[in-house]
Structure 1
Amino acid sequence: MTDCGCDKAKESLEEYLHNELCKDDASDIREHIENCPECSGEHRVGLVLREAVQRACQEAAPEDLRDQVLARIRTIQAEHA
């Protein structure tokens, strides 16, 4: 395979992290990341960020906050009905 270069690797990093690239493109990006310290670092940052977002999306709002928001929505709806 040929080195896709830093520009291509950085441009495609998001799609690579989400497994949205075709097999050949993913292979090129993976090979470049394995051999480029700068892009490897960006890849690690992307992985950490993706994992943090996934964890944050799994958290639920406290029940009392949920109740307050729903009560406020009902109040606003009643005022505009």
Structure 2
Amino acid sequence: MTDCGCEKAKAELEEYLHNELCGEDAADIQEHLANCSDCNNEHLVGRTLTEAVQRACREMAPEDLRDQVLLTLRTIQSGH
């Protein structure tokens, strides 16, 4: 493996975070991240953000809040 460089690592970081790269490309980026603190910091931010979004998508609003929102939307829609 060879160091893919910052440009490639940053360009493919999103795909790397979502495991969408082939094995060789992922390995190159993983190697680069291990040796480049700037790119590794971007990876940590991206991973933290990705995990937060995934957690938020699993959470559900309380049923009474959902009912209130739906009632308000229906009220607004019936006035148009």
TM-score under structure 1 normalisation?
0.85
Unaligned runs of 5+ in 2: none
**Partner of 1:53 in structure 2?**
53
Aligned length: 80
Moved over 2 A (4+): 72-80
Taking the aligned partners of 2:17 and 2:32, their CA distance within structure 1 comes to 14
Please state how far the C-alpha of 1:77 moved relative to its aligned partner.
5.0
Letter in 2 for 1:13: L
**Partner of 1:36 in structure 2?**
36
Instruction: Single out whichever of 44-53 and 71-80 deviates more from structure 2.
Output: 71-80
TM-score under structure 2 normalisation?
0.86
Aligned-residue RMSD, C-alpha: 1.4
Output one character per residue of 1:7-51: Cα deviation in whole Å (capped at 9) or x when no partner.
100010010000000111111111100111111111111111111
Instruction: Name the % identity.
Output: 70
Please state how far the C-alpha of 1:60 moved relative to its aligned partner.
0.9
Residue 26 of structure 2 corresponds to residue 26 of structure 1: yes
Taking the aligned partners of 1:74 and 1:42, their CA distance within structure 2 comes to 43
- What secondary structure is seen at the aligned counterpart in 2 of 1:25? helix
